[in-house]
Amino acid sequence: MTDADLLSAFATGDRSAALELTQRLTPRVMGQAFRMLGNRAEAEDVAQEAMMRLWKIAPDWDAERALVTTWLYRVVANLCTDRLRKRGRGVALDAIEEPADSAPSVAAEMQDSARITALRSALADLPDRQAQAVSLRHLEELGNPQIADIMDTNVRTVESLIARGKRALIAKLAGRKDELGYDDDNG
């Protein structure tokens, strides 16, 4: 059965369809949320909220209009963008302590961690559609045609959103070259 078939069965009261959908979709939803947020508790909240929205929309689901997974990608991307925005900016990076052990591997690990934190923060500063396009391309590793479906637009627009989004990210991160290793001279 397809996801849409199961959703339709759930809408008519079939609990086992909900169980099947939960097992199929939660790992994907949780994965996307965790990659964007980097925090397990917050990712679980987003996953639960996205699935709740799925249960609620079940009676009105139009299988001709979109795939369930496509719809979920969009919902999770929106929820995560909202959360990143609410977190505030640069807090996590400022809170990073100096490594007690100055071995290069530890320092490099700290810089990797700082870079990831800074990238999430920079993603949150992007306009919504740029942030969604960039995260679907580079975190979910989806093709541009699928991203276009998810974002309800065309491939050329997706390409443009991704290109502008990446340029904006590099510009934001370049100002912190000492911490992160980006070069701000060539932005």
Partner 1 sequence: MMTTDNEKLLEQTFAQMVAQDAPLSEGLMDRIMFDADQVLTERMPAVEASPEPMQGFGAALLDAIGGWMSFGGLTAAAMTGLWVGVFPPDLIYDYSTGVWGDTIEVPLLESDVFSGLEG
Q: Which residues bind partner 1 (CB under 8 A)?
A: 10-11, 13, 15, 18-19, 22-23, 26-27, 30-31, 33-35, 38, 40, 43-44, 47-48, 51-52, 55-56, 58-59, 112, 115-116, 119-120, 138-139, 141, 166, 169-170, 173-174, 180-183, 185-187
- Integer CA distances (angstroms), 137 to 12, 21, 29, in order: 35, 25, 16
Burial class (CB within 10 angstroms; exposed 0-12, middle 13-18, buried 19+) of 2:
exposed
Among residues 85 and 115, whose Cβ is nearest to partner 1?
115
> Toward partner 1, which CB reaches closer, 148 or 180?
180
Shortest Å distance, C-beta 186 to partner 1: 5
Nearest approach in angstroms of CB 27 to partner 1 is: 6
For residues 52 and 63, which CB has a smaller minimum distance to partner 1 in the complex? 52
Task: Give which of 64, 50, 49 is closest to 2, Cα–Cα.
Answer: 64
**Residue whose CB is less far from partner 1, 119 or 154:** 119
Contact 6, 20 (CB under 8 A): yes
Rounded Cα distance, 173 and 187, in Å: 9
Q: How far apart are CA 155 and CA 90, in angstroms?
A: 33
